[in-house]
Amino acid sequence: MELHESKLIFLKRKKKDAHNNNTCLIYFFHNKMIWGFKERINSNILLSKKYKKLKEHKYLLYIHSNYKNQIMKKLVLIFTIVLSLVFSKNVIAQGTIVDVAIGNKDFSTLVTALKAADLVSALQGEGPFTVFAPTNDAFAKIDAKTLNSLLEEENKKALANILTYHVISGKITATDVVAALDKGNGLVELTALNGQVISVMKKDGKIWLKDTNENYSEITATDVMGSNGVIHVINTVAMPK
């Protein structure tokens, strides 16, 4: 297929190029739109040799280099944004709640405790799980000697009991918690993985955990998602019996 001047139909002139006084033209050839930039000389359109030499193209798109550069930059930007979004979603989808904790420096003590209690593999399982995760500052409220003792091999069972008291089977989002609190008149009792009950309650406009020893821990952040569950951040370690 050869493109001849006689088969080009001038449709409309648009968008004058401020750089070199060229005019953007739109043509139709065999019902296909063709863009081009041609100089206006005595109101006539001059077709360059490149148009006449083109063969075997279903349709053609020609844009002035300045416009082409601008469009290419926009396409690169859009492509980069799309890749970033896809990559972010993949990271979220692929990271378990343990991976999320490992990637957050505020949970370094929690990660150390999970490793000491041999719970990493369990919490990397299919789940889903809901974890009320104490921050480093939360663990810092525990006496240093007591905390160091819990991390020792002989106290693995006691440490596992504390940590599994912060884990609920199933995925409970913040929306689910609020709905349950409204239904339960501001109090919801959950059974943790260690078999003991931990309460979620609304108090002073905030949402708290209450452990079996009547100690409170504020939920300071919610809905940190992992591929196998959700993390809610708390500011005090809950203690089981």
The Cα 214–Cα 231 span in angstroms is 22
CATH 2.30.180.10 residue ranges for the chain: 95-234
Residue 200 tokens read as 């979620």
Q: Is the dihedral of CA 55, 60, 65, 71 positive or negative?
A: negative
Question: Taking all residues of the chain, what is their mean pLDDT, rounded to a whole number?
Answer: 75
The predicted-structure confidence for 108-125, as pLDDT tens digits, reads as follows: 999 999 999 999 999 999
Spatial distance between the Cα atoms of 7 and 171, rounded to a whole number of angstroms: 65
Burial class (CB in 10 A: 0-12, 13-18, 19+), 42: exposed
Per-residue pLDDT, averaged over 19-23, amounts to 43
* Inter-CA distances, 236 with 50, 104, 113, 145, 214, Å: 74, 17, 15, 17, 13
The pLDDT of residue 56: 35
Per-residue pLDDT of 151-207, as tens digits, reads: 999 999 999 999 999 999 999 999 999 999 999 889 999 999 999 999 999 988 899
- Residue 239 makes CB contacts below 8 A (sequence gap 6+) with 162, 165, 211, 212, 213, 215
Confidence at 127, pLDDT banded by 50, 70, 90: confident
Rounded Cα gap, residues 92 and 99, in angstroms = 10
Summarize pLDDT for 201-212 with one digit per residue, the tens: 998 889 999 999
**Does residue 6 surpass a pLDDT of 70?**
no
The residue that leads in pLDDT, 50 or 199, is 199
Q: Residue 220 is which amino acid?
A: T
Range in 44-53, 96-105, 211-220 the model is least confident about: 44-53
Q: What percent of the chain has pLDDT over 90?
A: 57
Superfamily of domain 95-234: FAS1 domain (2.30.180.10)
